[in-house]
Amino acid sequence: MTEKNPRKYSQAVVDGVEKAPGRAMLRAVGFQDRDFDRPQVGIASTWSMVTPCNMHIDRLAESVTAAVDRAHGKGVIYNTITVSDGISMGTEGMKYSLVSREVIADSIETVSGCMGHDGIITIGGCDKNMPGCLIGMARLNRPSLFIYGGTIQPGKNHTDIISVFEAVGGHARGTVSDIQLREIEETAIPGAGSCGGMYTANTMASAIEALGMSLPNSSAQEAISREKLDDCQRAGAAIMQLIASDIKPSDIMTRPAFENAIRVVIALGGSTNAVLHLLAMAHAIGVELTLEDFTRIGKSTPVLADLRPSGKYLMSELIEIGGIQPLMKSLLDRGLLDGSCLTVTGRTLAENLQDVPPYPDGQDIIYPFDKPIKKDSHLVVLKGNLAPEGAVAKITGKEGLRFTGTARVFHSEEESLKGILDGTVVAGEVIVIRYEGPKGAPGMREMLSPTSAIMGKGLGKDVALITDGRFSGGSHGFVVGHVTPEAIEGGPIAVVQNGDRITIDAETSELTLQLDEAEIQARLARWQRPAPRYTRGVLAKYANTVSSASEGAVTDKYLRNL
Q: Provide the H-helix boundaries in 57-199.
A: 57-70, 85-88, 96-115, 129-140, 161-173, 178-187
DSSP state of 176: S
Q: What is the distance between the alpha carbons of residues 222 and 219, in angstroms, rounded to a whole number?
A: 9
- The conformation of residue 467, written as its DSSP 8-state character, comes to E
d(C-alpha 78, C-alpha 69), whole Å:
16
CB 419 within 8 A of CB 517: no
| β 40-45/119-124 pair status | parallel
Name which of 195, 194, 186 is nearest 160 in CA terms: 195
Strands 402-410 and 501-505 turn out to be antiparallel
Pairwise CA distance, residues 144 & 159, whole Å? 35
Cis-peptide into 249, omega within 30 deg: no
The contacts of residue 34 (CB under 8 Å, 6+ apart) are: none
Q: How far is CA 288 from the centre of its chain?
A: 19
Are residues 479 and 279 in contact, defined by beta-carbon separation less than 8 angstroms?
A: no
Q: How far is Cα 185 from Cα 179, in angstroms, rounded to an integer?
A: 10
Residues 6+ apart with CB under 8 A from 408: 419, 424, 425, 429, 430, 431, 432, 498
Q: What are the catalytic residues?
A: 472
In 3D, which of 79, 96, 82 has the Cα closest to residue 54?
A: 82
Residues 152 and 176: beta-carbon distance below 8 Å:
no
Q: Return phi, psi of residue 333, to 5°.
A: -60, -25
Strand ranges (E), 417-531: 429-433, 464-467, 479-484, 501-505, 510-513
Query: Could you give the CA distance from residue 434 to residue 494 in angstroms, rounded to a whole number?
Result: 7
529 burial via Cβ count (<10 Å: 0-12, 13-18, 19+): exposed
